[in-house]
């Protein structure tokens, strides 16, 4: 039976501030803490290229939606 290995992304409370941080991890690589969703998504793709593993669907969808919402908040309204 083949074991499926994924790249997981989740949020955790930072031990240095009141903010949440994104945690990108696999079983063989140590956890990487990222301040925002875009950096976490970039690191997940770097790990994907290095290891050949897939990014978990739930994690990927959550990161993409978070990046889109942040991008729409920062863009100025166009008339």
CA 6 to CA 46: how far, in whole Å?
13
Q: Tell me if 44 sits within 8 A of 32, measured CB to CB.
A: no
Beta strands in 1-79 (DSSP E): 6-13, 20-25, 32-34, 54-55
**Looking at the chain, how many residues does it have?**
79
Q: So what's the pLDDT on residue 1?
A: 42
Q: Tell me if 44 sits within 8 A of 57, measured CB to CB.
A: no
Q: So what's the pLDDT on residue 78?
A: 60
Q: So what's the pLDDT on residue 79?
A: 56
Model confidence pLDDT, tens digit, residues 1-59? 445 689 999 999 888 888 889 999 988 888 999 999 999 999 999 999 998 899 999 99
Tell me the pairing of strands 32-34 and 54-55: unpaired
């Amino acid at each position: 039976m083949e074991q499926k290995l994924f790249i997981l992304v989740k949020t955790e409370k930072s031990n240095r501030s009141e903010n949440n941080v994104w945690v990108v991890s696999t079983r063989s690589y140590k956890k990487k803490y990222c301040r925002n969703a875009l950096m976490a998504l970039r690191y997940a793709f770097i790990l994907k290229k290095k290891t050949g593993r897939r990014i978990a669907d739930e994690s990927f969808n959550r990161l993409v939606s978070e990046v889109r919402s942040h991008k729409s908040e920062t863009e100025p309204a166009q008339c």
